[in-house]
Amino acid sequence: MISKLKSSTIYGIESFIVEVEVDLSNGLPCLDIVGLPDTAVRESKERVRAAIKNQGFEFPIKRITVNLAPADIKKEGPQFDLPIAIGILAANKRVKEDSISSYLVVGELSLDGFVRPVNGILPMAIKAKEERLKGIILPFENKREAEVIKGIEIIPVNTLKDAIEFLNGELKIENKIEEISDNIPFYDVDFSEVKGQEGVKRAIEIAAAGHHNLLMIGPPGTGKTMIARRVPTVLPELTQEESLELTKIYSISGILPKNSSLIRKRPFRAPHHSITPVGMIGGGRVPKPGEVTLCHYGVLFLDEIPEFDREVLELLRQPMEDGCVSIVRNNAKIIFPSKFMLIAAMNPCPCGYYLDPFHECSCNPGKIQKYLGKIKGPLLDRIDLQIEVASVKFSDFEDTKSTDSLTIRKKVENARYIQIERYKNYGILYNSELSGALINKFCSIGKTEKLLLKEAFEKLKLSARALNRILKVSRTIADLEGEERISEKHIAEALQYRNLEKYYGL
């Protein structure tokens, strides 16, 4: 007696269909699971056995073989408990066999037969729709996550018995879909709380408008972290497609908030400087997304960037350039998306007070150079804007006209709209994504501007990459002012955000 039903598992950030085949035959009673299962899947036989008995069903005293096909792809996770249990009962003629073929089934079982939530439900629901299945049977706690996908039945169950009775037509489960709010996400922080630092706010505005990376450098207590945490408040709202992709990432990572649907806020990730390369980039025995993927479409904030391990910083170069991370294993290549804004902060020296007019620096020149040297070269070239964050004055706290997030966001949205319209036939969205050929096309400058750029190139000893990034930033500044042509003043302002390379001897 054989039964077949469909389940699903995750590889990378995508889901693929797994066919669960169950065979009952005469012989020594046992339960074997084949098809390249991992430890969590192999252990499911004990959970399934107890759940079937504790839900009032008879566990067949036969030789039971469960095959998870295709057999050449490793199966991971506890989501196969429920389909295996249903498959065993279907093979034992306790479930209508014609009812199970049109549903995708996922869920972990407790020993008493209750169905526990699993990770990765959103991509599984998407796959079920792509395969034109009737619906998906899933844990009740994963209901809201799956309801994002329209056009398929969502069947939430609390117990194994609920699932069996539904498939046998004995229980009707009403799928009451709650409306998903499209309201603007609420932030409990705002740039109006940042007193002074108007020059830094301008740099943030440019960075957000063109999706540029930014480095803040200054003594302790000047508000670098406070400013960084408010960057998401000036970024445009997530589009439906961006929100869906981001929710998939958080779903498979197991960090999607309980009973939530779509993620509406742009992520802000601030890993500690002790993070490992795998934690930052992703990977591991079972490849999982790292911080650069968890901040997809959002902000990656590296506070005290020189304290990070050099290997970790070097690994950032690929995702910063390509917008993705490639992880290669023996039998596959996994690509995790990682389009993020890098916001970094650092002190000018180990004690933090180099060149500070209010405090005396206790570091010797060699110590300072060693500290600053950790972010030299290729990584620094990929940071478009470098801005000094100076100490605030007491009078700044009395300023009642501090620029707020809404004012900045409106400017950013206008500049982003210009870029979307300009690049709609070129497969990119932001000025920061311009390649060499497109820079020549969209960042052309006149003789006066070229002369200024040449002088800066020679004086600051800029690299070719740095020169291109100055042009990209100039393009963004022009977009913020609604001007089609890049002028001398735009290049002059862009150059101001590169002078820290020489000022601090980087």
pLDDT for 50-109, tens place per residue?
A: 999 999 999 999 999 999 999 888 888 899 999 999 999 999 999 987 888 899 999 999
Q: Give CA torsion, residues 477, 478, 481, 487, to 10 deg.
A: 110
User: How many other CB atoms are there within 10 angstroms of residue 60's CB atom?
Assistant: 18
Structural domain contains residue 76: yes
Same domain? For 245 and 288 the reply is yes
Per DSSP, the three-state class of 31 is strand
From first CA to last CA, the distance across the chain in angstroms is 72
| Residue among 10, 35, 9 at smallest CA distance from 22 | 35
Structural domain contains residue 406: yes
Structural domain contains residue 174: no
List, for residues 179-192, the tens digit of each pLDDT value. Answer: 555 455 778 899 98
Structural domain contains residue 300: yes
Tell me the one-letter amino acid at 226: M
Same domain? For 203 and 155 the reply is no
Q: What is the DSSP letter of 394?
A: G
- Given a cut of 70, whether residue 311 has pLDDT beyond it is yes
Q: What is the DSSP letter of 402?
A: P
- Residue 62, CA atoms < 13 Å, CB-side half-sphere: 17
Extract the tokens encoding 502: 């020489």
- Given a cut of 60, whether residue 286 has pLDDT beyond it is yes
> In this predicted structure, which of 170-184, 242-256, 481-495 has the lowest mean pLDDT?
170-184
Rounded to 5 degrees, φ, ψ at 396 are -65, -30
pLDDT value, residue 182: 47
List, for residues 358-370, the tens digit of each pLDDT value. Answer: 788 888 888 888 8
Same domain? For 112 and 259 the reply is no
Same domain? For 159 and 264 the reply is no
Largest Cα span, the chain: 89
User: Higher confidence at residue 245 or residue 1?
Assistant: 245
- Given a cut of 60, whether residue 14 has pLDDT beyond it is yes
User: Higher confidence at residue 239 or residue 502?
Assistant: 239
Rounded to 5 degrees, φ, ψ at 392 are -85, 155
Q: What percent of the chain has pLDDT over 90?
A: 59
Structural domain contains residue 276: yes
Same domain? For 225 and 370 the reply is yes
Domain boundary among 167, 200, 223: 167
Which distant-in-sequence residues (6+ apart) come within 8 Å of 319 by Cβ? 281, 292, 325, 338, 340
Same domain? For 82 and 215 the reply is no
Exposed e or buried b per residue across 14-30, where buried means at least 16 C-beta atoms within 10 angstroms of its C-beta = ebebbebbbbbeeeeee
Mean local confidence (pLDDT), 114-119: 95
List, for residues 197-215, the tens digit of each pLDDT value. Answer: 889 999 999 999 999 999 9
pLDDT value, residue 503: 53
- Given a cut of 70, whether residue 178 has pLDDT beyond it is no
Tell me the one-letter amino acid at 205: E
Q: What percent of the chain has pLDDT over 70?
A: 94
Mutual angle of helices 464-480 and 405-422, in 10-degree steps = 110
Structural domain contains residue 357: yes
pLDDT value, residue 281: 93
List, for residues 416-467, the tens digit of each pLDDT value. Answer: 999 999 999 998 999 999 988 899 999 989 999 999 999 988 887 787 888 8
Mean local confidence (pLDDT), 110-126: 94
Mean local confidence (pLDDT), 202-231: 94
The model's confidence at residue 20, banded by pLDDT at 50, 70 and 90, is: very high
Average pLDDT, the chain: 89
Mean local confidence (pLDDT), 340-345: 95
Structural domain contains residue 321: yes
pLDDT value, residue 431: 94
- Given a cut of 70, whether residue 505 has pLDDT beyond it is no
Domain count, the chain: 2
Cβ distance 41 to 84 under 8 Å? no
Same domain? For 200 and 129 the reply is no
- Given a cut of 50, whether residue 308 has pLDDT beyond it is yes
- Given a cut of 70, whether residue 382 has pLDDT beyond it is yes
List, for residues 398-418, the tens digit of each pLDDT value. Answer: 666 778 899 999 999 999 999
pLDDT value, residue 171: 85
Q: Give CA torsion, residues 182, 186, 187, 191, to 10 deg.
A: 90
- Given a cut of 60, whether residue 142 has pLDDT beyond it is yes
**CATH code of 65's domain:** 3.30.230.10
- Given a cut of 60, whether residue 164 has pLDDT beyond it is yes
Domain boundary among 128, 151, 167: 167
Question: How far is 107 from 157, CA to CA, in rounded Å?
Answer: 9
pTM assigned to the model: 0.88
Same domain? For 366 and 497 the reply is yes
User: How many other CB atoms are there within 10 angstroms of residue 433's CB atom?
Assistant: 17
Same domain? For 246 and 392 the reply is yes
Domain boundary among 110, 132, 167: 167
Provide the residue range defining the domain that includes 31.
2-167
Structural domain contains residue 151: yes
Same domain? For 216 and 329 the reply is yes
Rounded to 5 degrees, φ, ψ at 145 are -65, -45
Same domain? For 491 and 349 the reply is yes
Burial of 331 (0-12, 13-18, 19+ CB in 10 A): exposed
Same domain? For 363 and 259 the reply is yes
The model's confidence at residue 299, banded by pLDDT at 50, 70 and 90, is: very high
> In this predicted structure, which of 134-148, 171-185, 212-226, 371-385 has the lowest mean pLDDT?
171-185
